Structure 1
Amino acid sequence: MTAAHTPPARLHGRTAPGVPRWAVRAAYLTSLTVLPAGLWRVLAVDFRLPLMDAPADGTPPPDWFGGEWWYVIALSVVSELLAFLAVGLVSEWGEVWPRWIPVLGGRRVPVLAAVIPAGLGAAFNTLLWPYSLTMVSLGYRVDGTPGVGLHVSAWRDVVFCAAYWPLAAWGPLLAVLTVHYYRRRRATALQPVQ
């Protein structure tokens, strides 16, 4: 099986020339940081697995997303797709638009067209997830008011933390990949043509 026909290569295309192995691993790890939280959401909200406690006052558990089962699945899929874009920072399709894209297909991706959205995503995720998860872990809502709308205890706490704390790595990993992508692409652009 040639490198172009391995399952990872079919999934994301070939790794761009000059990308070190650590960057490829970091890109895949970035896309995997979102997966546990998405699975937890779908299992807890859509499939009603007992991953949350019923409120102590006997009221029914909150209907988190307005009863729309598809919303939780769509949120999880979109989150995973956004995280998977990190793989573009180490792949050929992150440097040259795939041929199937109208008008742009086959042209070079401008460096800033990848770096600006990736940098904004890295900043957003670096600020959002560690703060939000710390607040929830301490028993507060994200806005700082006491009392979490999420009811978990005992083993459910462990499962919730195991599912959501990997999100705290999404932003920093994406930031490292974005800086590496920018430096690698700028260095390539500055090399003299032979």
Structure 2
Amino acid sequence: MILAPRTRNLLAWLTVWLTVPSCAWRVAAGFGVDVGFTGQLGELYRGPEFLAYVWVLTIASQAAAFLTFGLVRPWGERVPGWVPGLAGRSIPAGLVVGVAGVGALAVTAVSVVLAFSDSGPLHHPDFPSGTAGTVMALCYAPLLAWGPLVGVLTVAYARRRAHS
């Protein structure tokens, strides 16, 4: 598969935007918006500890999504000039492909298992249901495409680096 530079860049942006709905939903929950949790989970999913957890998870997922740009930008092939001691050095393609490939598989596996499992946290009776459950599902559904898109960009990166 040969992807044009513009297509690769658009796919990298798409991986970032796919994470935004779930992040927004989580942040809303962190700030106390009633997103449909009831019972013990409703009590657990509020307060300063939950807000801190939400921000750490949101920042981590956005950072991971933005790392996808390393598959389409020069800083994914050479260490940027501002990094002391390593500036300008070539980054081994195998390292990038390995890390990105594992990330793509992990995100895909977690997303698929959580979305399609007949048991697990999404089937807890205190999880959002009805309209709130539908809103949550719509916010998290885009994550099903995140891992496969990173996989496509990883293959394109590997092929590009093999031919350069």
Q: Same fold (TM over 0.5)?
A: yes
Q: 2:120 aligns with which of 124, 135, 141?
A: 141
2:35 pairs with 1:47? no
- Provide the TM-score with structure 2 as the length reference: 0.88
Secondary structure of 2:149's counterpart equals helix
Q: Per-residue deviation at 1:84? A: 0.9
- The superposition leaves residues 41-73 of structure 1 with CA deviations (integer Å, 9 ceiling, x where unpaired) of 1111x2111111423xxx672414885122210
Measured on the aligned residues, the alpha-carbon RMSD in Å equals 2.2
Matches within 5 A, 1:14-33: 19-33=4-18
Q: Cα deviation per residue 1:122-155 (whole Å; 9 max; x = unaligned)?
A: 11111110111223xx5x315xxx9415521222
Is the 1:33–1:170 contact (alpha carbons within 8 Å) kept by the matching residues of 2?
yes
Which structure dedicates a bigger proportion of its chain to helix? 2
Give the conservation status (yes or no) of the 8 Å contact 1:42–1:73.
yes
Task: Provide structure 1 residue ranges, at least 5 long, that are not aligned to the other structure.
Answer: 1-17, 189-194
Among all aligned residue pairs of Structure 1 and Structure 2, give the percentage whose two residues are the same amino acid.
Answer: 35
Say whether the 8 Å CA contact 2:41–2:127 is kept in structure 1.
no
Paired AA for residue 115 in structure 1: V
Does 2:41 correspond to 1:77? no
- Select 2:21's aligned residue among 14, 27, 36: 36
Which residue number in structure 1 is paired with residue 80 of structure 2? 98
| Ranges in structure 2 where 5+ consecutive residues have no aligned partner | none
Runs of 4+ in 1 over 3 A off after TM superposition: 64-67
* Aligned match of 2:156: 180
Alpha carbons 2:108, 2:148 under 8 Å: kept: yes
Q: Higher RCO, 1 or 2 (CA under 8 Å, sep at least 6)? A: 2
**Matching residue within 99, 102, 108 for 1:120:** 102
Against the structure 1 CA distance between its residues 19 and 77, is the aligned structure 2 distance closer, same or farther, given a 3 Å change threshold?
same
**Structure 2 vs 1, CA of residues 157 and 101 (structure 1 numbering), >3 Å: closer, same or farther?**
same
How many residues get paired?
A: 161
**1:103-140 deviation line (CA, Å, top 9, x unaligned):** 111112211121110010011111110111223xx5x3
Quick one: which amino acid aligns to residue 164 of structure 1? Y
